[in-house]
């Protein structure tokens, strides 16, 4: 019997890939639409418009669905509307959980973030047992994702079969908006980041995240978290991979990490003049400076999660960006 999924955040990076992989795997998809419809062009899915804060509306949309994949969120660390982020990330998740409980949804998959976990102590592997962020000085995004997880946990205790996924930095194709990571790759391709900083992050392919989400519907233990991490790489390593792919110089030099703080005022100034997100901010630098090493052992063992080579992700993403933007 064909299963039906209700998806939020379909126009975002994760959602755009998820709906394609769901369709490929034989699912019927009903997707909550906000504004941007580019991610849905040419796809055989049911689109619905409404508020993610309206649990009665959401309950109607979940009718007949086997699983819910909740990926809608406001992502950002600078120039954000904190009240709006709280409404969408926390209150929206609460409304989704309430509707799913009322609709007797079999599986509720929530896309959280590695940033929902406390990063310290840095000298220990970051596992699913790590406590969630509580420090009010943490970034608003980190706090709202952590509090959204609290809502999911409450719903699980009330009887909803929930699964929480915590991916690291996501890269990959079908990044229409684009995401911060997608914009980073575009900037490197267009030789707008010839000076990189000596820092890095753990990167995971968006398609591997989505495959894990679908596998989690049948394989995950309800009420559990699963870290979806890939490969750690520095920005200069990514720039060099891009350079190899496009056969252009994408990096002149790598500067010490501390030097980025000296350029913060200029990053903000240029962002205001050009009406673009700054290349980096105090919040994003903090995220790079304070990060524990995550392990995906649990996801590998329980979900069969695998992470493809980062070079493959970079190459596929460049091909997609070239065909859609450049």
Cis, bond preceding 12 (omega within 30 deg of 0): no
Neighbouring residues of 306: CB distance < 8 A, sequence distance ≥ 6: 208, 300
Residue 21: burial class (beta carbons within 10 Å; 0-12, 13-18, 19+): middle
Query: So what's the pLDDT on residue 270?
Result: 52
CA distance 148 to 136: 15
Q: Phi and psi at residue 77, in whole multiples of 5°?
A: -125, 0
Q: Phi and psi at residue 90, in whole multiples of 5°?
A: -100, -60
Query: So what's the pLDDT on residue 220?
Result: 98
- The domain at 4-178+202-232 falls in which architecture? 3-Layer(aba) Sandwich (3.40)
CA distance 185 to 187: 5
Q: Phi and psi at residue 177, in whole multiples of 5°?
A: -70, -40
CA distances from 243 to 185, 194, 310, 316 (A): 11, 11, 14, 14
Cβ-count burial 28-53 (b if 16+ within 10 Å, e if not): bbbbbbbeeeebbeeeebeeeeeebe
For the chain of 326 residues, list the mean pLDDT of each consecutive stretch of 10: 91 96 97 85 93 97 97 82 94 98 97 95 94 91 96 98 97 92 88 77 97 98 98 92 91 68 56 57 64 94 97 96 82
Residue 126: burial class (beta carbons within 10 Å; 0-12, 13-18, 19+): buried
Query: So what's the pLDDT on residue 77?
Result: 67
Q: DSSP for 48-59, please give it.
A: EE--TT-HHHHH
End-to-end CA distance of the chain: 42
- Report domain extents, the chain: 4-178+202-232
Cβ-count burial 279-298 (b if 16+ within 10 Å, e if not): bbbbbbbbbbeebbebebeb
Instruction: Tell me the three state secondary structure of residue 106.
Output: coil
Whether the Cβ atoms of residue 130 and residue 115 lie closer than 8 Å to each other: no
pTM listed for this prediction:
0.92
């Amino acid at each position: 019997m064909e299963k039906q999924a209700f998806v939020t955040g379909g126009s975002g990076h994760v959602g755009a890939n998820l709906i394609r992989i769901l369709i490929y795997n034989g699912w019927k998809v009903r997707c909550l639409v906000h504004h941007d419809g580019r991610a849905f062009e040419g796809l055989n899915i049911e689109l619905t418009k409404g508020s993610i804060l309206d649990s009665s509306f959401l309950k109607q949309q979940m009718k007949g669905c086997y699983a819910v994949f909740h990926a809608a969120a406001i992502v950002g660390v600078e120039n954000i509307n904190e009240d709006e982020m709280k409404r969408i990330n926390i209150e929206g998740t609460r409304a989704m959980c309430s509707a799913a409980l009322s609709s007797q949804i079999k599986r509720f998959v929530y896309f959280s973030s590695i940033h929902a976990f406390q990063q310290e102590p840095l000298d220990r592997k970051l596992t699913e047992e790590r406590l969630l962020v509580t420090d009010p000085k943490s970034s608003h995004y980190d706090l709202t994702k952590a509090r959204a997880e609290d809502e999911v946990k409450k719903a699980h205790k009330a009887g909803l079969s929930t699964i929480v996924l915590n991916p690291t930095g996501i890269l990959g194709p079908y990044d229409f908006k684009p995401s911060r990571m997608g914009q980073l790759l575009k900037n490197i391709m267009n030789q707008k980041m010839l000076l990189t900083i000596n820092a890095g992050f753990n990167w995971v392919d968006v398609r591997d995240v989505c495959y894990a989400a679908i596998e989690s519907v049948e394989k995950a233990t309800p009420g559990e978290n699963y870290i979806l991490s890939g490969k750690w790489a520095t920005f200069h390593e990514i720039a060099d991979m891009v350079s190899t792919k496009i056969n252009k110089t994408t990096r002149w030099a790598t500067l010490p990490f501390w030097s980025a703080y000296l350029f913060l005022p200029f990053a903000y100034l240029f962002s205001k003049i050009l009406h673009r997100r700054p290349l980096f901010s105090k919040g994003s630098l903090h995220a790079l400076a304070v990060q524990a090493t995550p392990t995906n052992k649990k996801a590998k063992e329980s979900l069969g999660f695998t992470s493809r080579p980062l070079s493959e992700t970079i190459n596929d993403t460049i091909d997609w960006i070239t065909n859609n933007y450049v």
